[in-house]
Amino acid sequence: MNAEHKESILDKFHLEGKVALVTGGSRGIGRSIALGLAEAGADVVLASRKLPDLEAVAQEIAQMGRKALPVAANVRHLPEISNLVKTAMDEFGRIDILVNNAGTNIVFGSVFNMDEKAWDIIMGLNLKGYFFLSQAVGQIMRDKGGGNIISIASENGIRPGVGLGIYSVSKAGVIMLTKVLAQEWGQYNIRANAIAPGVVRTRLSTALQSNPVIRGRTEDSAALGRIAEPEEIVGAALFLASDASSYMTGQTLVLDGGHFSSVRTLLSTISSTE
């Protein structure tokens, strides 16, 4: 019998002994990622504005035999970021994985009609929050020998969404922030990557889902002919959080159901002109 253990590729996906912090962890993509990381062996700090919603997810994680710490925090505000990180460190003494996921979009329409308040709220959560939370957690990761930062961007950060001007700008900023962090912090063994989903069936996309015309066009524009479920983002997050992606940093994984490669859009355009 060979006493030397050969590591399986599947072993690289395990997260035992790791602590993950997931913002926007009470529902949608954040909830699904938090549950996926816990299933892979990580303990999880859950953050969002409403504690009761977080506590329900924490119970699900506890049933897996992992530890979960729900913390009410609005990461638009720097004092709440500081409290979130301090609370996590007091409980676990480390943060190995950060998932920047909390996001919002409060306006839909022409850039002509978007005001300063909308700009401040959207940019404050979608980009400012990501920047300063990454800064706070990155200092801990640097001192502990490394870590992984995963930021949820959007396909609209690459291809602007109609009526989503500020949101698209904020998500483009997330993609560039990812590149900046990867470049600057690689020397500290900190990797930074992003996931850019297309439309996902979450509360954020409720307005789109409830409009049959917009929903139909969105589904037709994807090669797979449908929008995504939150659980379909988890595999990419686990890959980026684990040693399976140990040589990957500064990259953005686009999970859009094949929007860019779809012939459906072309066929629909041809049909509409006949």
Give, to the nearest 10 degrees, the angle between helix 129-144 and helix 78-92.
30
Judge whether 153 and 252 are in contact, CB under 8 Å: yes
- In the chain, the N- to C-terminal Cα span, in Å, equals 70
Both tokens of 25, joined, read 């962890």
Q: What is the DSSP string of 90-127?
A: HHHS---EEEE--------B-GGG--HHHHHHHHIIII
Name the catalytic one among 130, 167, 188, 247.
167
Determine contact, residues 211/224, Cβ cutoff 8 Å: no
**Secondary structure letter of residue 7 according to DSSP:** P
- Catalytic site includes residue 167: yes
Q: At which residue do the structure tokens 């992606």 appear?
A: 245
Torsion of CA 222, 224, 228, 234, to 10 degrees: -120
Q: Can you tell me the distance from the alpha carbon of 47 to that of 27, in angstroms, rounded to the nearest whole number?
A: 11
In this structure, what are the phi and psi dihedrals at residue 261, rounded to the nearest 5 degrees?
-100, 5
Beta strand pairing call for 97-100 and 68-72: unpaired
- Give the count of alpha carbons within 13 A of 8, CB side only: 4
Kindly list the catalytic residues.
Answer: 167
